[in-house]
Structure 1
Amino acid sequence: MMFIHPAVVLDLSANGVGIIHTLARKGIDVYAFDTEGPYSKGKSRLARCAVCPCPLTQEEELLSFLIQTSESLDHKPVLYAGADDYVVFISKYRRELSSYYLFLYPDHSTIMDLLDKKRTYELAVQHHVPTAKTFFIEDEQQLDEAIAQLEFPCILKPVFGHEFRKHVNKKAIHIENADMLKEVYPAYRAFGELIIQEIIPGDNQCFYKIATFFDENMRLLALFTLQKNHQFPVQFGTGAHIVSRRIPELVEEGLPLLKALNLKGIGMIEYKKDPRDGRYKLIEINPRFWLTHSLTGASGVDFAYFYYLHLTGHHPAPSLQQTDGVQWIYLVRYFLTFLEKRKNGGMSVKDFLDGFRGKKVFALLALDDPMPFIRSTLSHLKNAWKKNRRSE
């Protein structure tokens, strides 16, 4: 098959590199851009990479940059985004960008709702979807009222995670008791609105995801479910070791919600299964490609490739059946997770090695594109060493 449309990928984290690997190995020309920091760590030899203006602080410059990039190409490129900042930017300027790029997103209001954890919680309540017990705090009185109803430990989370992580590189803050909450809340509140949630019990294997690709008319083109085995950091982290698994009850839970939200394009819901009542509790919804999406290709439902085929008029047949038991491994994070869990007996050397059995795909490790893996590994190990030094 000949591919005349190039692809433009905004993001050079592991998420974006996964998109690059998928498309480039199919023979598609890929151009990849990110801001200076991620670019230096994620530059890939399988794409033509460069630094681009920041979507948060240089909107006009980024818009001009993308228009000029498209005008320099012979055919309209397919536009991919691997991070929330780029999704918001593309959605905000969709009218201007649609003349130069091919992409598919839900309504802008839907995207903003899903990036707002407060609004996502309200949507979950509206659609009768179980969630963790959640508190929204506007002042000190409401903080005291929440403390009276909370069970500790609990977690403190930003309402807008993609903006909060520009200042604090944490998905959530573990709160041991009421005194700690009162002490740290004002400091973290300076970086954005916060919510307080109960901690749903259960280990990393209680986390599940359902991912979908709906076309413009909400026809389901691709479906995928997975289970998390390990994450890094262990308490509140992102995927380190994931397995593809067909979970019919998760599909029954997730599909109606995604349809009700009219989430066309790529969508993903993360749940945690609560061992107290056996119910799947909603964690978050993302209107974009997610970190472990490259697992879908190895499992027979290639989301990044399907997205390209559909937008370039190749009309792929729906792919709703996946191969079970394929593992996705972010090697350095998996290793650091093992070191962390081994301290309290939660993981043995045998457990770690058993994680490599069977069919697998690596997040970054690639003989035809070694530098993203090398740079990411060195960066993770350096950060882990610094953290250990501070705790000594």
Structure 2
Amino acid sequence: MNNKAVILGTNYYIGLSVIRCLGVHGIHTVAVDYSQENTYGAKSKYCSEQLVSPHYKKDTKAFVDFLKDYASKQSSPPVLIPCHDTYVEIIDDHLEELREHYLIPQTEAGLYTNLMNKEALHRLAMDKGVAVPETIRVNEENFFEKIETIIKYPCIVKPVDSPTFVAKFRRKIFKVHNKAELEEALAKVKDAGLEVIVQRIIPGFDDHMYTFDAYLNQEAKVTHWSTCQKYRQYPINFGASVYTGQKYVPELYDIGAKFFEEVKYKGFAEIEFKKDAETGQFYLIEVNVRITNFNSLLYKIGLNIPYITYRELTGAPLEPKAIEEDTNIVFWYGYEDLLAIKDYIKTGQLTFREVFLSLFKPKAYAIWDWTDPAPALSYAGIILGKVFKKVFRIKKADGLNL
């Protein structure tokens, strides 16, 4: 296997899981980050090489040139795997020139961005007959009247461009309970120069969130897939998976596979659905066009997505596979799940007993691996460092108040 795998972003556990998934098969993995600080994923024994690049946002041209220069020095074109939405956006913006140097599943420039863009996705889903939450755009006539009669409160203010919104506000959405809160949220995003839409909240607890995870080959046909059910997320109610289990839901395949194949998608992607607690209907919430947060779960149930990607792009595709049974295995990101549990219990959404009983399932860990402990130890050091700084600041502030 002469083709290296270049992984963009190892300061988060998605990059770590990609490195492990490829490294176990002896593939040369290259971790690329703009800094070596907090890149605990690169501490894995399966990381073959670590590179420091220009900052992907502060100097995008230099970052792209860096990637092209690295690939031009290799004997075979590397496989390029982004592990963060912003990396995906950059690849999409420079797809043609990067495909001259790298193996990348997607061939249609702009498709990644259209699926990540919440407004474009909403229109595309409706065009393909996929149910989406009722949505009002800020520039529509009789905006507040429509909110009152169609959307109703509480509702969510959702960004069109999620990565930029999250970077600015450190949250995925604004939940508003009345007109005053909505006006305040709209003022904030206007000041930040961001676009948003307003959506109805589909009724149901967080365990009504489901996913369809699929790999589509270069003919845009689903070859590998599974479905999963979220149990807890952080931040609670509108966050990322922290405790998610594989759950076979064939209806999601019927919806998801048809959608992805009709838009001619290639590579791995994930649709997040919410099941309406009152009607049972599944609504498309968003699409992730990079490796999912719970990639370690997919690996444990038998779908090694990074390796599936690598093998197809290097000309030796694996046999198709679907997980059409319940395995009872869950993904667990322990640190953030503890934070989530505290909030679920505080708000009365879960009891301690319910949480305790849920923990006795076989697990795929976000970071911990007995055979590869260095990343977890590095991550623990990062967390302890943050705690120490916070405590030190508090003590320092108390000292100033004496």
TM-score strictly above 0.5: yes
Identity %: 24
Q: What are the within-5 Å matches in structure 2 for residues 48-127 of structure 1?
A: 48-127=49-128
SS at match of 2:322: coil
Whether 1:373 and 2:379 are equivalent positions in the alignment is yes
Q: Is the 8 A contact 2:8 2:87 kept in 1?
A: yes
Report how far residue 209 of structure 1 moved: 0.5
Structure 1 unaligned residues grouped into runs of 5+: none
**Would you say how many aligned residue pairs link Structure 1 and Structure 2?**
385
Matched, 1:7 2:5: yes
CA distance in 2, matches of 1:166, 1:37: 20
Question: Which residue of 226, 236, 249 corresponds with 2:238?
Answer: 236
Which residue of structure 2 lines up, in the alignment, with residue 343 of structure 1?
Answer: 346
Aligned-pair CA distance for 1:42? 4.7
1:1-392 paired onto structure 2 within 5 Å: 3-12=1-10, 13-36=12-35, 39-40=38-39, 42-46=41-45, 47=47, 48-138=49-139, 142-149=142-149, 150-191=151-192, 192-321=194-323, 324-367=327-370, 368=372, 369=374, 370-371=376-377, 373-374=379-380, 377-378=383-384
Compared CA separation, residues 377 and 242, structure 1 to 2 (3 A): farther
Q: Alpha-carbon deviations, 1:14-51, whole Å to 9, x = none? A: 21111112112222221111234975465423323333
Structure 1 CA distance, aligned partners of 2:54 and 2:244?
Answer: 33
How far off is 1:380 after superposition? 8.1
Which has the higher mean CA deviation after the structures are superposed, 205-214 or 186-195?
186-195
Can you give the 5+ residue segments of structure 2 that lack an aligned partner in the other structure? 396-402
Q: Which amino acid aligns with 2:369?
A: A
Kindly indicate whether the alpha-carbon contact (under 8 Å) linking 1:42 and 1:371 is maintained by their aligned counterparts in 2.
no
Instruction: Show structure 1 runs of 4+ deviating over 6 A.
Output: 379-386
Distance 1:179 1:345, change over 3 A: closer
Alpha-carbon offset, residue 287 of structure 1: 2.2
**So what's the TM-score if we normalise by structure 2?**
0.88
| 1:225–1:244 Cα contact (<8 Å) kept | yes
Distance 1:249 1:266, change over 3 A: same
Give deviations 1:152-189, integer Å, cap 9, x for gaps: 11111111101222211110111021111112311122
Amino acid at match of 1:25: V
**Cα distance 1:254–1:380, how it changes in 2: closer, same or farther (>3 A)?**
farther
Aligned-partner Cα distance in 2 for 1:383–1:231 = 26
- Say what the alpha-carbon RMSD is for the aligned residues: 2.6
Q: Indicate if the aligned counterparts of 2:157 and 2:185 stay in contact, CA closer than 8 A.
A: no
CA distance in 2, matches of 1:383, 1:255: 47
Q: SS where residue 213 of structure 1 aligns? A: strand
Question: Residues 332 and 363 of structure 2 are in contact (CA less than 8 Å); yes or no, is this contact kept in structure 1?
Answer: yes
Deviation at 1:77, TM superposition (A): 1.5
Question: Once the 2 structures are TM-superposed, how far is the Cα of residue 238 of structure 1 from its aligned partner?
Answer: 0.4
Contact 1:366 1:373 in 2 (8 A): no
- In the alignment, is the contact (CA less than 8 A) between 2:96 and 2:109 conserved in 1? no
